[in-house]
A and B are shown apart, each in its own frame.
Chain A
Amino acid sequence: MHRSWSRPILRFVGRLVVTAILAFILLPALVVTLAAFNDRAILSFPPASWSWRWFAKALAYQDFQDGFRNGVIVTACASSIALVAGGAFAIALDRYEFRLKRTLEMVLLSPLVVPHFTVGLGFLILASQLGLARGYGVIVVCHVVLVLPFVLRSVYISLRNLDPRLELAAASLGAPPGHVLVTVTLPLLIPGLVSGWLFAAILSFNEFTASLFVTAQRTQTLPVALYNYVREYADPSMAAISVIYIVITAVLLTCANAWLGLGKVLNVEHQR
């Protein structure tokens, strides 16, 4: 019969497609990881002999150290500011009706539409026009703008998933609004807040395009430092840094997963 042979074929093709997609997702990281252990001073694949020395070199390289430190400062400030601002906006959008609500929503989400280099260029022009030095301030503000939509969405979704009857129940039990917020609302929003902060941090730490415009030699973040390095050298320290990047991010996500459950962090858990 028709079905008897089409079923296994479809199943086989399906598996093939899934495998291919997974392979393409993982392949770049895999290639770079292998290249990082190449003993020779070229970025080639596959390596002929193996070594850890590029990790040592990358970690010792002053520009990378500075870039990492700058990145951590910028990321910590930008994602924390974005969390507070985005959280407040999310609460306003979820709980209150007001004029220009749609417009506010559009403006807040607009960095998703505007290319990063436009945002970077804009801040560069503004900063020079206002006579601001290209210090951390400009980079932080720029990153806040870029990651705000993600924080906003994350908090907004967890607010939506929060059963408003829980807050009513707390009120019926005699809890004034402030107590409701502290004992019910915030504890239940924590997964959303943590995931929002985490995604903002990852995005901010990896952000390159806009950062290229608004950073200076003294304030360049790690992706910019990497770019400057690769313009002059092409040895595997690049790949080594990439591997470190991947490991740190994976560790962060694993911790978040172990602590809160990835389902909650990604906001995919459904209400019971």
Chain B
Amino acid sequence: MPGEESIAVRLAGVSKQFGEVHALHDVTLAIRRGELLTLLGPSGCGKTTLLNLIAGFLMPDSGEIVIAGKRVTFTPTYRREIGFMFQSYALFPHMSVAANVGYGLRMRRIAKPDITRRVADALALVKLSGLEDRKPRELSGGQQQRVALARALVIRPKVLLLDEPLSALDRNLRAAMQIEIKDIQRKLGITTVFVTHDQSEALSLSDRIAVMAHGRIRQLGTAQEVYREPNDRFVASFVGDVNVLRARLVRIEKPDAEVLIGEQRITVSSRTLADAQPGTAVDLFVRPEDLRVAETGTPTAAHGKVAAQIYQGGHVDLHIDAPEIATARVLVRLAGHDGMTRWPVGTHIGLTLVANNAVAFKPETQA
């Protein structure tokens, strides 16, 4: 476990209940100094509650919250030295851009010339120099967002909390802001907690991702770990596209296991199989980019028929009907655009798995 001084925020056994609803169950989490950690999960998973607890907008029913070594579990927000950015930006409509950004500095009773300088620096950082005197309603959505970011950063908070800050922006602007936020975050080395329900946003931004569901953290790890070595079925299917294929467990030799799918033998980790018995069915979770159309002569996992082709620019998505191994259509993602001409809709093909990137889980118990 890393030393206390390298931890910016620590949550220990934090629970929160709203009436009958358990929003958070006994969550323990250490956020490292300087990292960008994403809380990722579907709506209602507790990610926003967790963020609000760190901010002090809510108080936990039990557990402890520590920011920068100080216990703040019941400290009011205004003494926590956090920066918070809302999805709706929450700019003060009656104040100019400069007054908005300078608000936190005025509350800290910083000398006027210093405020002016730091506000100018912060606006330069988010590329809004020259708009000091505008009112928020005179700005575009993207500009309002930058003001909100500058306002949260200018006070040099111990931790920057972002609540789905990009979800109100259109796609292109969003991608640009992702890069910009990441850049700024790295430049300032500021500890950042980023809440999102968008898994691709989480994968591209984060140093680490905490995948949440039903008030618990299901997995905490780097983007790669969460994507490549999911802990459970939920994480596997929530983060990235995935095919769930029917396979059979051949044997377990810890830490590996061997499964058979069609004619193919695949080595997977035994970590996710617990007490599964050899000979029983398992669900094999396979990413669309780990599937190929089989060349003649190679062992196939299944036979199928191309049901749809979707051109995505850099890659082609083939949707395959393969009833032997999957009830839903199987998604195959092929780099380049050859796929369009080689395998038109209706072609019968064989499917094969590349590399040993699949993850196996015990089938869901039928209710």
Chain A residues proximal to chain B, CB less than 8 Å: 163, 165-166, 168-177, 179, 183-184, 187-188, 272
Q: Verify A174–B94 contact, CB threshold 8 A.
A: no
Judging by beta carbons under 8 Å apart, are A172 and B77 in contact? yes
Whether B90 contacts A163 by the Cβ 8 Å rule is: yes
Asked if residues B78 and A165 are in contact (CB atoms below 8 Å), the reply is no
Select from chain B the residue with minimum beta-carbon distance to A165.
Answer: B90
CB-based contact A170/B86 at 8 Å: no
Q: Contact: A171 with B94, CB < 8 Å?
A: no
Q: Establish whether residues B103 and A171, one from each chain, have CB atoms under 8 Å apart when the complex forms.
A: no
Contact of B90 among A166, A174, A176, A177 (CB under 8 A): A166
Chain A hits for B88, CB < 8 A: 163, 165
User: Could you tell me if B78 and A176 are in contact, using CB atoms closer than 8 angstroms?
Assistant: yes
Q: How many A-B residue pairs have CB under 8 A?
A: 64
In the complex the two chains form, is A174's CB within 8 Å of B84's CB? no
Q: Are B84 and A168 in contact (CB under 8 A)?
A: yes
Given B76, B108, B151, B152, which contacts A171 in the complex, CB threshold below 8 Å? B76
Is there an interface contact between A169 and B84, defined as CB atoms closer than 8 Å?
Answer: yes
Name the interface size band of chain B.
Answer: 20 to 34
CB–CB A172/B107 < 8 A? no
Report the Cα distance A183→B346, complex, angstroms: 67
Cβ-based interface call for B273 (8 A): no
A184 to B83, CA, bound (A): 18
Please, which residues of chain A bring their CB within 8 A of the CB of B84? Answer: 168-169, 172
Question: Which single residue of chain B is at the shortest CB-CB distance from A176?
Answer: B78
Q: Considering only CB atoms, which chain B residue lies closest to A188 in the complex? A: B94
Chain A residues within 8 Å of B76, by CB = 171, 176
Write out the residue numbers on chain A whose beta carbons fall within 8 Å of the beta carbon of B151: 169, 173
Chain B neighbourhood of A169, CB < 8 A: 84, 86, 90-92, 151
Quick one: which of A163, A172, A183 contacts B83, CB cutoff 8 A?
Answer: A172
Max chain A CB contacts within 10 Å: which of B77, B84, B90, B152?
Answer: B77
Does the CB pair A174–B86 fall under 8 Å?
no
For B22, what are the chain A residues with a Cβ–Cβ distance below 8 Å? none
B57 contacts A174, C-beta separation under 8 Å: no
* Contacts A163-B88, A168-B90, A187-B94; A175 near B82 (Cβ below 8 A): no
Q: Which of B98-156 contact A (CB under 8 A)?
A: 103-104, 107-108, 137, 151-152, 155
Residue in contact with B81 in the complex, picked from A174, A179, A183, CB distance below 8 Å: A174
Q: Is the CB of B92 within 8 A of A171?
A: no
Q: How far is the CB of B50 from chain A (nearest CB, A)?
A: 16
- Name the residue in B56, B92, B161 with the highest tally of chain A Cβ atoms < 10 Å from its Cβ: B92
Verify if B93 is at the interface (C-beta below 8 Å from A).
Answer: yes
Q: B107's contact among A163, A166, A168, A174, by CB below 8 Å, is which?
A: A174
List of 6 A-B pairs having minimum Cβ-Cβ separation, nearest first: A173-B104, A172-B84, A171-B77, A174-B107, A169-B90, A165-B90
Contact across chains for B107 and A184 when beta carbons are under 8 A apart: no
Residues of B within 8 A of A187 (CB): 94
Q: Across the interface, name the chain B residue whose C-beta is closest to A168.
A: B57
If A168-B84, A170-B103, A272-B137 touch, whether A175 touches B90 (CB-CB below 8 Å) is no
Residues A173 and B155 in contact, CB atoms below 8 Å apart: yes
Q: Enumerate chain A residues within 8 angstroms of B152, measured Cβ to Cβ.
A: 172-173
Quick check: is B55 within 8 A (CB to CB) of the other chain?
Answer: yes
Most buried by B among A169, A171, A272: A169
**What chain A residues lie within 8 Å of B77 (beta carbons)?**
168, 171-172
27 chain-A/chain-B pairs, Cβ below 8 angstroms: A163-B90, A165-B86, A166-B93, A168-B55, A168-B57, A168-B77, A168-B90, A169-B86, A169-B91, A169-B92, A169-B151, A170-B92, A170-B103, A172-B55, A172-B82, A172-B83, A173-B78, A173-B151, A174-B108, A175-B78, A176-B76, A177-B78, A183-B103, A184-B92, A187-B94, A188-B94, A272-B137
- B94 surroundings in chain A (CB, below 8 A): 187-188
Chain B residues within 8 Å of A179, by CB: 107
CB distance from B59 to the nearest CB of A (A): 13
Q: Specify which chain B residues have a CB less than 8 angstroms from the CB of A172 in the assembled complex.
A: 55, 77-78, 80, 82-84, 152, 161
**Residues of chain A within 8 A of B137, CB atoms compared:** 272
Q: B54-92 toward A: CB 8 Å interface, digit per residue (1/0)?
A: 011100000000000000000011111111101010111
| Bound-complex Cα distance A168 to B155 (A) | 16
* Nearest A-chain residue to B101, judged by Cβ: A173
Closest Cβ of chain A to B9, distance in Å, is 15
Residue of chain A at shortest CB distance from B154 = A173
Are B93 and A188 neighbours in the complex by a CB distance under 8 Å?
Answer: yes
Query: Looking across the interface, which residue of chain B has its beta carbon closest to that of A166?
Result: B90
CB neighbours of B55 from chain A (8 A): 168, 172
Cβ–Cβ < 8 Å partners of B90 in chain A: 163, 165-166, 168-169
* Residues 6-27 of B at the A interface (beta carbon under 8 Å): none
| Alpha-carbon distance between A241 and B155 when the two chains are bound, in angstroms | 60
Besides A168-B77, A184-B92, 13 other CB < 8 A contacts? Answer: A166-B92, A166-B93, A168-B55, A168-B90, A169-B92, A171-B76, A171-B77, A171-B78, A172-B55, A172-B152, A173-B103, A175-B107, A272-B137
| Nearest opposing residue in chain B for A175, CB measure | B107
